[in-house]
Structure 1
Amino acid sequence: MSAPNGVMMQYFHWYNEPDGTLWNELSEKAETLAAAGITSVWLPPAYKGTAGGYDVGYGVYDMYDLGEFDQKGSVRTKYGTKDEYLNAIKNAKQSGIQVYADVVFNHRLGGDAEEEFKATPYAPSDRQQPIGDEVTIKSWTHFKFPGRQGKYSELELHWWHFNAADYNAYEQGDFEAVFLFEGKTFDTEVDMEKGGFDYLMGCDVDFNHPEIRDDMMHWGEWIVDFTGIDGFRFDAVKHVKAGFFPDWLQNTRRYSGKSLFAVGEYWSSHIEALHHFIEVTGGDVALFDAPLHYNFTEASKSGNDYDMRAIFDGTLVKDQPTLAVTLVENHDSQPLQSLESVVESWFKPLAYALILMRRDGYPCIFYADYYGAHYKDTGKDGNEYEIWMDSHQWLIDKFLEARRKHAYGDQYDYFDHPNTIGWTRLGTDEFPGGLAVVLSTGDEGTKWMEVGRANTTYIDLTEHIDEPVTTNEDGWADFRCLAGSVSVWIPQADA
């Protein structure tokens, strides 16, 4: 974590305009974000994707092209040029914000030439059984990187640097398969969905190939030197040989002499899968708490039928809090995206209180929840939809203020009602006063709670409730919230 009570911000969403302005926007807003309480930012993949200046960054073409070379139809990426990226990192760090780079190791897309070789087709839904004999295929597996001309790395990629792809130029019609290349195997140290979820998309990188391993180690050393970043967000870790991550991370830390924070995206609602990844990687990589996100989604859709006493059941932050990055929404779960699992807008203030006001976990704020978002896209049913995502910036800033000034010390939970729950933080010598949080998914709620300060008047920082509350001689009081709402109570003298 970047600081005591640190808070990460995912500084992008899927539908940021492809106008090359995001890096400059961060440069301009870094001081304001730091003042609000943001201590780190997770930036989108900064290298050239197959769609050039339009690619969100996950269709990886060239990891060494940070918006520097004329490749795939543009010099800049969706977010700006190499120099603008480096300047954004510098300005963020000068403002006291650490910067985490998004790293996509799993696959490559947009090869420059086709190659012919032998491969065996497997069913996309089952990677255990072949659905045909070995055949000769032709696929886009030669990556020449002509715009870069060997700068930073001379390695060109060929079919033998990958283990699978889903495209064969010789196949006609609707034939769908994942083609396992001759002499290759699917990695088993991956999520076991679909019989083994090594293959995700594009040309699947073979991490057992020595030239790939060497180049990835070199890239880690290069990116830290070149940019000065403070850590990484690893994409799609459940599709990559798990043991690769601690090897790569330890090498990059050793080379750089920096501690380098790391969080992985193991997107699964099954907590056992997350525990297994943590065990295999020796606890070297934190994980996003996807099960908590799914709990938020369910609670937001169920309303007062959801038992809020169970909101943390089956979550990483409950089981392994020091390795949990807690979140409400992200670019994959937002409306119309591949893992769409929307947390309804009315519940988002409650969800952000549940990650920002509590002792455990490293909370991550989503750009589109903070600034709002408006976009159009096609849904899975083929129809076009217009989406408006609400800005919750005003309330999130209030929560950040409370986290920065008051969310310290012992935590007492009052999770004793299916709709109305609360907790208190008692403060410390350095941060006295503490706070009380109460929220309800049903009717207006009250919670009799201890804050540890006798005869002290508390006010609702959210301004939802005007009347103050005064504790008794033992430091207890009835703290209130409105229906379907949350209130954060802090000492009036500290406001």
Structure 2
Amino acid sequence: KCLNGGYSMGYDPYDYYDLGQYNQMGTIETRFGSQAELKAAIALYKSYGVSCTADIVLNHRAGGASEYNPKTGGNTWTSFAGVLSGKSKWHWDSFHPNNYCYSDEGSFGGYPDVCYSAGLAYTDTKTWMAWLKVAANAGFDSWRFDYVKGFASWVVKDMRAATGNPFSVGELWDANTTLLNTWAYNSGASVFDFALYYTMKDICNNTGGGGYLPNVFNSTLAFASKWDARAVTFVGNHDTDEIYSDKMMAYAFTLTYKGYPIIYWKDYYNYGLATGGGYGTGWGNGIKQLVWCREKLAAGGPSISILKSNDGDWIAYQSGGYSTAAPGYIVIINDNSSAWKGGYVTTSNSYLKNKTLKAYAWSSSKSGQNYAPANQFCSSTGSVQVWAAPRGYAVYSVNGL
């Protein structure tokens, strides 16, 4: 339960153990429902093999009562003795400043800034996160750590260790790939690839084709090209949704390239990008088909090598194959605003050689251009032509799958 009760999105946490079962802050249920409904939703997701990630706010706490703070010589809103769960009943010494330390890496919104070097916060938070993993309480599997710029990376490392080192991702809102790399190394967690997000924004929103497409391969401009095992790539989210043109070009890259891609639910369910409105052979050109390509053609884990990166208008890369059922693919993305782009590339993927290749996914935002490229034959040496429509892409693999 949060300070703003039934109106809160969850970023002003008050009682960590109130998931919609206590009457406080003006409501019993949270904005999203009751604890029973949360548990039922998580159980249903898991029945379909979907892991559930909790959004964890560790930087600050909100809604405490006023109490005298001997460190400041005045009153602060740091008494949580009144939480109805009766747990994590912190006082001023669990926040900055206290007798142990004055501050940490950052604060947010004027809320009391949690200190993990003194007081009860460190041990209580480990206990709470372990509680969240239990199905009788919630049943979460993994963590998204909010605003990790506000506290030390060792806090994330220790919280992960206390909960079995599950998959975790940190929201480090910065495009500096060196900073992202350092945080991922020190915390042991993955990190959102804001660098790639802003690189793709510059390319996609430049509808005249003036962006430099090979920048997506530059390890200083894309964390997925620096440390793909720790990069969580995205095209938009609830905080930032600034790619307003040719967003499918960005999805074509993140869903077929290295890293751990995520899909913004509004893009899929609200903005019509799930199927994309394609026509022709019936395969369509939306997010759903790109997911199919990643899962079916690259077994969910593409092994990427670059085939073309010396032209500002178009790039090409391949995923290695795993079997005849998952033979890999070749991706071409075209930034040009008016012309089809492509040409010969040479693949090392033996599953594609001596085969006719078909474009299983494609797209173009240009009127009259949104249709599948023609099939192409890949020679025994791996030489094959690949083509994509203006401001579009194509994903080629063995015909007949």
After TM superposition, the score normalised by the length of structure 1 is 0.70
After TM superposition, the score normalised by the length of structure 2 is 0.86
Q: Read off the aligned partner of 1:332 and give its amino acid letter.
A: D
Match of 2:308 in 1: 414
Match of 1:91 in 2: 44
Choose from 288, 308, 311 the match for 2:216.
311
* Distance apart, 1:264 and its partner CA: 0.9
Change (3 A) 1:325 1:184: same
2:59 and 2:113 in contact (8 A); partners too: yes
Compare relative contact order (CA 8 Å, sep 6+) and give the higher one, 1 or 2: 1
Structure 2 gaps, min length 5: 276-285, 364-369
Q: Tell me how far apart the structure 2 counterparts of residues 425 and 311 of structure 1 sit (CA, whole Å).
A: 16
Is it true that 1:401 corresponds to 2:401 in the alignment?
no
Q: Which has the higher strand share?
A: 1
Residue by residue, what CA displacement relative to the aligned partner does 1:69-101 show, whole Å, maximum 9, x if unpaired?
Answer: 112111111211101111111111110111111
Q: Read off the aligned partner of 2:312 and give its amino acid letter.
A: P
Change (3 A) 1:146 1:265: closer
* Distance apart, 1:275 and its partner CA: 2.1
Choose from 238, 243, 246 the match for 2:154.
243
Match of 2:280 in 1: none
Q: Tell me how far apart the structure 1 counterparts of residues 395 and 356 of structure 2 sit (CA, whole Å).
A: 15
Is it true that 1:362 corresponds to 2:260 in the alignment?
yes
Q: Read off the aligned partner of 2:341 and give its amino acid letter.
A: G
Change (3 A) 1:409 1:204: closer
Change (3 A) 1:484 1:89: same
Q: Tell me how far apart the structure 2 counterparts of residues 198 and 410 of structure 1 sit (CA, whole Å).
A: 39
Is it true that 1:63 corresponds to 2:7 in the alignment?
no
Match of 1:320 in 2: 227
Q: Read off the aligned partner of 1:80 and give its amino acid letter.
A: G
Choose from 225, 229, 237 the match for 2:140.
229
* Distance apart, 1:218 and its partner CA: 1.2
1:469 and 1:477 in contact (8 A); partners too: no
Choose from 376, 382, 394 the match for 1:470.
376
Give the count of matched residue pairs: 370
Q: Read off the aligned partner of 1:143 and give its amino acid letter.
A: F
Match of 2:102 in 1: 185
Residue by residue, what CA displacement relative to the aligned partner does 1:368-423 show, whole Å, maximum 9, x if unpaired?
Answer: 22112xxxxxxxxxxxxxxxxx3311100010111111134563431221011122
Residue by residue, what CA displacement relative to the aligned partner does 1:282-319 show, whole Å, maximum 9, x if unpaired?
Answer: xx211111111111122223341111111232122111
Structure 1 gaps, min length 5: 1-47, 121-135, 164-179, 191-196, 254-258, 335-341, 373-389
Is it true that 1:142 corresponds to 2:79 in the alignment?
yes
Q: Read off the aligned partner of 1:413 and give its amino acid letter.
A: L
Change (3 A) 1:424 1:144: same
User: Which residues of 2 match residues 271-310 of structure 1 at below 5 A?
Assistant: 271-281=177-187, 284-303=188-207, 304-310=209-215
* Distance apart, 1:183 and its partner CA: 6.0
Q: Tell me how far apart the structure 2 counterparts of residues 51 and 287 of structure 1 sit (CA, whole Å).
A: 28
Residue by residue, what CA displacement relative to the aligned partner does 1:347-379 show, whole Å, maximum 9, x if unpaired?
Answer: x11111111112x2111111122112xxxxxxx
Residue by residue, what CA displacement relative to the aligned partner does 1:446-491 show, whole Å, maximum 9, x if unpaired?
Answer: 2322453214141343373345322143343222211111222233
SS at match of 1:203: coil
Structure 1 vs Structure 2 CA RMSD:
2.2
Q: Tell me how far apart the structure 2 counterparts of residues 363 and 204 of structure 1 sit (CA, whole Å).
A: 32
SS at match of 1:330: coil
* Distance apart, 1:231 and its partner CA: 0.9
Match of 1:159 in 2: 92
Choose from 93, 100, 109 the match for 2:62.
109
Choose from 148, 155, 163 the match for 1:252.
163
1:237 and 1:264 in contact (8 A); partners too: yes
Q: Tell me how far apart the structure 1 counterparts of residues 379 and 314 of structure 2 sit (CA, whole Å).
A: 25
Identity level (%): 26
Choose from 335, 341, 351 the match for 1:445.
341
Is it true that 1:461 corresponds to 2:361 in the alignment?
yes
Match of 1:194 in 2: none
SS at match of 1:62: coil
SS at match of 2:25: coil
Match of 2:282 in 1: none
